[in-house]
Amino acid sequence: MSVFAGRLTDALATAQDRFRGVGDQLILAALWLFFLVFGTWAILTETDAFAVGVVTGSILALGAIGLTLIYGILKFAHFAHGDSMMLAAYVAFFALTGKVVGERTDVELPWSLNDLPGATSSIPWPGEGEFSFGYGLLLALLVAVVAAVALFILLDRLVYRPLRRRGSGIVIFAIAFLGIALAMRSLMLMLWGASPRLYVPGIRPTTDLPFDVRIVTDQIFIFFAALVLAALLYLLLFRTKLGKAMRAMSDNPDLALVAGINTEQVVTWTWAIGGALVAAAGVMLALQAQLKPELGFVLLLPLFAATILGGIGSPQGAFLGGMIVGITQEVAVAQDLLDISPGYKFSVAFVILILILLLRPRGLFGVKT
Amino acid sequence: MTAVLRVQDVVAGYGEVEILHGVSIAVSEAEIVAVIGPNGAGKSTLLKAIFGLVSVRGGRVELVGRDVTNIAPDRIVQSGMSYVPQTENVFPSLTINENLEMGAYVRRDGLRDRLERVYDLFPDIAPRRAERAGRLSGGQRQMLALARALMLDPKVLLLDEPSASLSPKMVDSIFEKIGDINRGGTAILLVEQNAKEALSFASRAYVLAMGENRFEGEAKEMLDNEEVGKLYLGA
Amino acid sequence: MKPDRLITPLAFAAVTAAIIIMPAERSRDFDSVISFLVTFGTSVAIFSLLVLGLNVQWGYTGIFNFGVMAFFLVGAFTAAIITKGPAETEFVQYVGGFGEDLNLIPFLDSDQWLPFLVGILGAAVFCGVLAFLVSIPALRLREDYLAIVTIGIAELLRRVAIEESGLVNGTRGLPGIPRPLGDLVAPGDYKFVIFGIAVVILILVFIAVERGIRSPWGRVLRAVREDEMTTAASGKNVFAFKAQGFVLGAVVMGIGGAIFSYQRGAISPENFNHFFGTFIFWAMLIVGGSGNNKGAILGAYVVWGFWRITILLQAYDLPVFLETRIFFIRDFAIGALIVGFLLLRPKGLLPEVRRVSIWVDRLRRSMPAEAESADPHAPAG
């Protein structure tokens, strides 16, 4: 009798699991269907807004790629992500122009990357037209990458590692990130002031795309940068030993230690690669928009929305999530069906975030935990 | 016979709580040694202390004559000892192949040969190598966990309750597998709740109670020992 | 005394000395020093209310609210639109405006106090309802998701206040918020009245929160904070208790927001941002010591003192290089203060006193030999 009852409960549990699986699959399918239909509709009726959305999406995707790595592997909601991006962008600005605010006005270093021969002459775009920047900006990006990697490793040693040793929960880390974000933003204001800055002053060259879409040529660069970095992160995580160790750590840090993985080393690598991605995202953001200290925090909600929508830890999810959030934001305030004020642009990201957290917290590509 | 693993008067614990108050054991080459004892005797803590997961406050741990007390686990793995935790001993989102690869993380060379050798030993999981480990059944996970620990061909294997929460049939095949591993020359130190099973399988055994050595001897003799039987075997 | 224990009195003494000496040195006038101190004290009392609310949510219940601004803003605007008269001109549009209708007991001069009480009550109720609505989906989320969601809610509400210009007059803000008991004294002396109001309300709220926390109900809250599973296993509805803690904290924050709008006399959505509306209260709680209501107040005092000191510093002859950056340096220091406290003094200036219940306290008092048995440095869960 008891055996029978046991079998019955087992069968029920299996059925329930299977049903839950089916429900889960249905929600996922519904989400994909919705995004496909919405995307097609947006391309057809709001082509311009869609194109702007792809650009915004590229920026969000770039930021989300770094965030998804840190969030996925280290399990930290990295609230300093937006501000780190902006800080790295300013470092690139400094390397490029040598400018910081002095007593009241800018002072300039005697030498900067812009002084290199031909550093400011525009790089031609293979298709048609040219980018706004020369190779000087690419070198500046490199400087920003080095600076961000160094800063992240330093912060890990000085702040996160002691907290980790103490067994602090994610909340303590979140508060620490908040303090660091605040310090970073004040540092930017101290060194470069509150007024917006640009890498390259003046009007930016544009390119005509099919369907009467004209975009700033730089935006093509930004889009491909996002695509390439997402692909590279995918290859890192799924094809290299280090990446596999990162995923192993994300699964079970204690077991990773037992298996003989030097987990501290993997943490350092994660911050280092995260730093490089942050710098790339920040420089692209500043190239697309401008350099402005507050911009980092403003981006935080859309970045988290993109990361969680895509599935935490998934590079392809971060790319797609960034695109979906970017496009939805732009199309939502451009369309005429619902009267949504442009002021709510970033609130759209929040609505997406809430819906995904309620419907499918692990996102489009996330692994069940 | 020389001892591959020698634990001398180890004192260890968590925070302010001391769990082990001076435990000593020794494992000789290619031997199977069981550690049995009641709940809370410190059996699992002993394995963790040996493996550098719980800091050792007194005494020492020697692996093939080398002092490995309080050495980081990645270096212990390199020195020839592996450890299989009781639960959550596979990486569920990694494929089986990747799980095994993680077992050989500290080494750069010969991954392919090691994989083939381990797959030969565990033919059940070989055909599923590209699947995620999270989809394996409990018994298969245990096999995978053993396989991972064998990737570097360790001299000593520490097993924490390999039979826990497995069906009786699965328990037999796990023990059979452990026997195979041992015949390949790997010494085994195993902690078991299921004392009878462990004693009939091991060559020697230690009884731990309240964080101290209580008995030690040949496993067969211990099975017949009245006092051990009364206290720990429910006889 | 261990040197470690000196930090708290030293921090208190340093801030106190600075906020007395610096204005005194600047003005050399007793009245303006008193005026400065009273205004400072009013702000500390108001911010203490917000930090107390946060302490109920995080310090006692373990709910991670990164959107304090939401309740601060809702409390302030609710009180303002309840207390103000009806919107009249084309350029000032807002809902509510019941102030003049609330003079229900004219022979007791109710126009001087009743609308304000209703305003505070309204702020508390609105924040409570908002917190309850938020708690239904949000409190079941993982704590990192909850943090993001609360930031989002705060941002959304601020957006609504800005965009829906008919609601609270958009970015133009609400000027001319009446002053409670404003006819009692000359306008120049009003600061003493609002100081008194803020302090009395702070004391009342402090007593209420302390009572609540030491009651069996408060004990369950702390149990939820330490270990949700075990608490659930012992038959408590964890979600209900979390929601209650969240709502109570929001109510306290709403009251703080209400007094804030009475003190300011004019508010605008621009007054509220994530830094001033949320993070500074976290800084106060971390510095003061989460899980300790007195610590929450001390944190508000020290951090706000630090804030005012940097403003006072401007009066001195600083190098231009520093003078133009003094606020950024201050913000940097507050960020560094948060991280520094997390690393070096994670329990804050006044660490939580691990307390089982008032009954155990009384027992201990009657048995002094065992009074020290509670370990204040026991690891937090």
Q: How far apart are CA A18 and CA A8, in angstroms?
A: 15
**Looking at the domain assignment, is residue C363 inside a domain?**
no
Integer Cα distance of C292 and A325 in angstroms: 41
Is B147 within 8 Å of B100 (Cβ atoms)? yes
Beta bridge partners of B12: B20, B56
Q: Chain A 259-288, CB below 8 Å of chain B: which residues?
A: 259-262
CA distance linking residue C100 with residue C113, whole number of Å: 12
How far apart, in whole angstroms, are the C-alpha atoms of residue A164 and residue A166?
A: 5
DSSP annotation of B68 reads -
Mean pLDDT across C100-122: 82
What pLDDT score was predicted for residue C366?
65
Mean pLDDT, residues B39-48 taken together: 89
- Record: contact A259-B93, CB cut-off 8 A: no
Could you tell me the CATH number of the domain that includes residue A102? 1.10.3470
CATH of the domain at C192: 1.10.3470
**CB-based contact, A155 to chain C, within 8 Å:** no
Residue C175's pLDDT is 85
Q: For C68-100, write each residue's pLDDT tens digit.
A: 999 999 999 999 989 887 877 777 788 877 877
Give the structural domain span for A334.
23-359
pLDDT attached to residue C359 = 62
Q: Which residues of C touch A178 (CB under 8 A)?
A: 66, 279, 282, 335, 338
Q: Which of C199, C202, C161 is nearest to C73 (CA)?
A: C161
Instruction: pLDDT band for C253, please (50, 70, 90 cuts).
Output: very high
- For range C188-208, the mean pLDDT: 93
Q: Decide if pLDDT at C322 tops 60.
A: yes
Give the count of domains, chain C.
1
Scanning every residue of chain B, which has its alpha carbon at the shortest distance from the alpha carbon of A366? B93
Interatomic CA distance for residues C59 and C56, integer angstroms: 6
The structure tokens listed for A155 are 């912060």
Q: What is the pLDDT of residues C279-304, one digit of tens each?
A: 999 999 999 998 899 999 999 999 99
Q: Which residue of C has its CA nearest to A305?
A: C148
pLDDT digits (tens, 9 = 90+) for C260-270: 999 998 899 98
pLDDT of C313: 86
For residue A25, the distance in angstroms to the closest alpha carbon of chain B comes to: 17
As a whole-number percent, the residues of chain C with pLDDT over 90 amount to 44
Q: How far apart are CA C41 and CA C1, in angstroms?
A: 30
Q: Do B102 and A257 touch (CB under 8 A)?
A: no
Look at residues C16, C9, C13, C1 and name the one whose alpha carbon lies nearest to residue C305.
C16
> What's the pLDDT at C374?
38
Give whichever of A82-91, B123-132, B200-209, C114-123 has the largest mean pLDDT: A82-91
For residue C354, the tally of other CB atoms under 10 A from its CB is 13
Residue C371 has pLDDT above 50, yes or no: no
Query: Is the residue at C364 inside a domain?
Result: no
Tell me which residue range forms the domain holding C308: 3-350
- Per-residue three-class SS string for A185-249: HHHHHHHHCCCCECCCCCCCCEEEECCCEEEEHHHHHHHHHHHHHHHHHHHHHHHCHHHHHHHHH
A259 with B88: Cβ contact below 8 A: no
DSSP C86: -
Distance from CA of C113 to the nearest CA of A (A): 38
d(CA B24, CA B60): 9
User: Which residue of chain B comes nearest to A256, CA vs CA?
Assistant: B102
From the list A307, A303, A279, A282, the residue with the least C-alpha distance to A72 is A307
What is the reported pLDDT for C373?
A: 38
Crossing angle of the two packed helices A300-310 and A345-359, in degrees rounded to 10: 30
Q: What angle do CA C70, C74, C79 make, to 5 degrees?
A: 155
Q: How confident is the model at residue A345, as a pLDDT?
A: 83
* Token pair belonging to A126: 């293979």
| Contact (CB, 8 A) for B144 and B125 | yes
Rg (CA), chain A: 22
Would residue A12 count as lying in a domain? no
C370 within a domain of the structure (yes/no): no
Q: With contacts defined as CB-CB under 8 Å, which chain A residues touch C344? A: none
Neighbours of C13 (CB within 10 A): 11
Least Cα separation, residue C99 to chain A (angstroms):
31
The predicted pLDDT at position C378 comes to 39
Class level of CATH domain B3-89+154-232: alpha beta
pLDDT in the model for residue C232: 83
The count of domains in chain A is 1
When pLDDT is averaged across residues C159-171 and rounded to a whole number, the result is 85
The answer, for A174 touching chain C at a CB cutoff of 8 Å, is yes
Mean pLDDT score of chain C, rounded to an integer? 86
**Which parts of chain A register pLDDT below 70?**
1-21, 368-369
Which of chain B's residues have a Cβ under 8 Å away from the Cβ of A256?
91, 102
Query: Residue C370: pLDDT band by 50, 70, 90 thresholds?
Result: very low
More confident call, C187 vs A288: A288
Q: Is the pLDDT of residue B1 over 70?
A: no
Residue type, C372: E
Asked whether the beta carbons of C115 and C80 are under 8 A apart, the reply is: no
Instruction: Write out chain A residues lying below 8 Å of C335, CB-based.
Output: 178-184, 186
- Is the residue at A9 inside a domain? no
Among candidates A244, A250, A251 on the partner chain, residue whose Cβ is nearest the Cβ of B101: A244
pLDDT score recorded for residue C106: 77
CB A248 within 8 A of CB A259: yes
DSSP string, C314-326: TTS---HHHHTTH
